């Protein structure tokens, strides 16, 4: 599950970065920033919840 989360997060962040550079026709740079933000926030949230459910404490690495 951790590997899948990392792969999806990487893809979403890469797509957000490319959209931010205005390299995708029809997609505004602000949409890219929002996509990047959501991917980062979702990954960190799922990591922390998973750590807590795994052993009852946050093993989150920075």
**∠ at Cα 8 (10, 13), nearest 5°?**
35
User: So what's the pLDDT on residue 60?
Assistant: 58
Token representation of residue 22: 């205005």
* pLDDT band at 15; cut points 50, 70, 90: confident
User: So what's the pLDDT on residue 56?
Assistant: 73
Number of other residues whose CB lies within 10 A of the CB of residue 52: 13
Q: Could you give the residue ranges of the DSSP H alpha helices within 1-62? A: 2-20, 29-55
User: So what's the pLDDT on residue 11?
Assistant: 87
Query: Can you tell me the distance from the alpha carbon of 14 to that of 40, in angstroms, rounded to the nearest whole number?
Result: 11
User: So what's the pLDDT on residue 28?
Assistant: 85
**Residue reference for tokens 């205005």:** 22
| pLDDT tens digits, one per residue of 38-62 | 888 888 888 888 878 877 776 656 4
User: So what's the pLDDT on residue 61?
Assistant: 60
């Amino acid at each position: 599950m951790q590997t899948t989360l990392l792969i999806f997060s990487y893809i979403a962040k890469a797509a957000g970065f490319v959209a931010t550079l205005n390299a995708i026709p029809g997609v505004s740079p602000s949409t890219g920033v929002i996509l990047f933000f959501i991917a980062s926030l979702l990954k960190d949230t799922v990591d922390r919840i998973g750590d807590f459910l795994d052993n009852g404490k946050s093993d989150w690495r920075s």
